């Protein structure tokens, strides 16, 4: 248990540097073995990351410990074009902070042949941007865009605020897990989920007139929140060659970000969304296993994430009549993220007794529509297609060294600037991202 405490503490220590944005702002996979298969693995029991993937798989894993680190590199850029050159609203910026370390940890202990206890520590995130300011030099341009707003002396960032522009969201989940075999080939598992998240925003001063609490909108430093939820799962070995699994996670109900109650809907509420996944694994040959997973993430059910950004136009500051639609309001504007479906296929090839090779492809629907591009300059989570490669090498001492690489192909979304609705002809905006990651992990049976 001492090892467990040390590794969990190390995972928490790395948390302030996290960023991820693959399946929206959920990771493409949890555990480096699953990441090598593009995240597929609901129906496979190979490591101690069941608390993130399928709790029921833990009772089939045995006594085991796994820990690893992923180096993640997202490249994000935003651009506004088509505005009248006289207004000076056109601009382009690339986000800094391009490298992040993502920790992972899993531990499992068999209580008896049919029962196990363990813990998985994993991370989400990716609403992370860090744009330098200075793209807009014309004070009258921002004044017109915000209907009389008179910012401090410029130059300004892409959203007409002062200084650098961006947000930083990190989510860390602790998942203690209980799993039980109710027949030799079928198991059930449950993971109470303890969520921690940290957030800050910068450079949104121009939206102060559209906020229910302008003093708690931007540049308040980091704020943190804790919450709770649960994940349940089933795993079944249907035959000698076929296994299947399914898991469901409730929302993780979080306390509010008080420092940002003027930004997020419902006075700073930012729950982690409900999601579920199903999968099948088929042993096509004695050496090759083919996996397929489906995942659903219900972003739209979290108001601060899913409410349309255009809802801010109902705020009295722009001639509307609904104060609850202002930023931070009980029905406030959000990022407009839609629910997404994710499809994964993975391959596990036992090359020999020491080496397992992996590959995978994942497609997830882009959660951001053209109508919500302006707000999502802050969170351009538009990646759709991913490919992965990986391997595990069994060492002479009995340990397992695993590596995985992921490439998220470049994708962009273009739409009319929300500034057009504020009364300033601002043309169109484009958000764009591509990403790479490479990770290493080590695990062993105890």
Give residues with Cβ within 8 angstroms of 311, minimum separation 6.
325, 331, 332, 333, 334
pLDDT for position 84: 80
| CATH code of the domain in which 115 resides | 2.40.160.60
Question: Would you call 162 helix, strand, or coil by DSSP?
Answer: strand
pLDDT band at 13 (very low <50, low <70, confident <90, very high): very low
Q: How far apart are CA 53 and CA 39, in angstroms?
A: 9
**pTM for the whole thing?**
0.93
pLDDT at residue 159 is higher than 90: yes
Domain that holds residue 324: 2-445
Tens of pLDDT, residues 51-82: 999 999 999 999 999 999 999 999 999 999 99
pLDDT score, position 263: 97
The yes-or-no verdict on residue 6 having pLDDT over 60 is: no
* Separation of alpha carbons 203 and 104, rounded Å: 32
User: Tokens standing for 11?
Assistant: 């995972």
Can you tell me the mean pLDDT for 278-292? Answer: 98
pLDDT value at residue 14: 45
Predicted confidence band of residue 151 (pLDDT cuts 50, 70, 90): low
Structure tokens at 84: 């009248």
pLDDT of residue 258: 97
Q: Compute the average pLDDT of residues 234-240.
A: 97
* CA proximity to 232, closest of 187, 183, 185, 194: 187
Q: Are strands 400-416 and 340-350 parallel, antiparallel or unpaired?
A: unpaired
Tokens of 125: 């995130």
Q: Which of the pair, 356 or 28, is modelled with greater confidence?
A: 356
25 φ, ψ to 5°? Answer: -115, 20
Residue entry with tokens 């994430």 = 305
- Under the banding of pLDDT at 50, 70 and 90, the label for residue 152 is low
Confidence tier at 147 by pLDDT (50, 70, 90): low
**Least confident segment among 90-99, 246-255, 416-425:** 416-425
pLDDT tens for residues 193-215?
999 999 999 999 999 989 999 99
Each residue's pLDDT tens digit, 385-416: 999 999 999 999 999 999 999 999 999 999 99
Q: Which residue bears the tokens 């979080």?
A: 254
> Looking at residues 8-18, what average pLDDT do you find?
46
Question: Does residue 218 sit in helix, strand or coil?
Answer: coil
Distance CA 18, CA 168 (A): 9
Domain tally, the chain = 1
């Amino acid at each position: 248990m001492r090892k467990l405490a040390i590794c969990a503490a190390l995972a928490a220590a790395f948390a302030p540097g996290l960023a991820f944005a693959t399946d929206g702002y959920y990771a493409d996979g949890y555990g480096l073995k699953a990441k090598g298969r593009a995240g597929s693995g609901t129906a496979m029991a190979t490591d101690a990351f069941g608390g993130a993937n399928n709790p029921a798989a833990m009772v089939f894993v045995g006594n085991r410990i796994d820990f690893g680190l992923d180096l993640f590199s997202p490249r994000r850029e935003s651009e506004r074009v088509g505005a009248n050159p006289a207004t000076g609203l056109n601009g382009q910026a690339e986000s800094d902070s391009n490298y992040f370390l993502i920790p992972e940890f899993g531990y499992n202990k068999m209580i008896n042949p049919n029962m196990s206890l363990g813990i998985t520590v994993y991370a989400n995130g990716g609403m992370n941007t860090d744009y330098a300011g200075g793209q807009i030099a014309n004070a009258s341009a921002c004044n017109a865009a915000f209907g009389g707003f008179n910012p401090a002396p410029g130059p300004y960032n892409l959203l007409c605020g002062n200084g650098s522009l961006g947000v930083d969201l990190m989510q860390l989940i602790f998942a203690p897990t209980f799993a039980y075999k109710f027949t030799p080939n079928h198991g059930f598992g449950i993971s109470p989920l303890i969520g921690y998240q940290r957030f800050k925003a910068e450079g949104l001063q121009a939206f102060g007139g559209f906020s229910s609490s302008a003093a708690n909108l931007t540049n308040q430093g980091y704020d943190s929140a804790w919450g709770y939820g649960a994940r349940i799962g089933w795993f079944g070995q249907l035959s000698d060659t076929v296994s299947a699994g399914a898991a469901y996670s409730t929302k993780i109900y979080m306390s509010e970000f008080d420092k940002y109650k003027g930004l997020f809907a419902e006075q700073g509420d930012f729950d982690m969304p409900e999601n579920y996944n199903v999968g099948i694994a088929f042993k096509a040959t004695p050496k090759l296993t083919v996996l397929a997973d489906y995942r659903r993430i219900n972003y739209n059910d979290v108001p601060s994430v899913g409410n349309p950004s255009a809802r801010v136009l109902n705020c009295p500051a722009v001639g509307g009549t609904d104060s609850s639609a202002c930023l931070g309001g009980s029905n406030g504007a959000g990022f407009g993220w839609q629910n997404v479906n994710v499809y994964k296929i993975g391959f596990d090839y036992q090359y020999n007794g020491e080496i397992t090779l992996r590959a995978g492809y994942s497609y997830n629907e882009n959660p951001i529509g053209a109508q919500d591009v302006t707000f999502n300059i802050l969170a351009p989570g538009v990646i759709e297609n991913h490919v992965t490669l990986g391997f595990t090498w069994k060492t002479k001492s009995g340990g397992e060294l695993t590596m995985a690489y992921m490439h998220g192909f470049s994708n962009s979304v273009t739409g009319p600037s929300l500034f057009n609705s504020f009364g300033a002809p601002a043309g169109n905006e484009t958000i764009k991202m591509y990403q790479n990651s490479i990770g290493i992990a080590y695990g062993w049976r105890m």
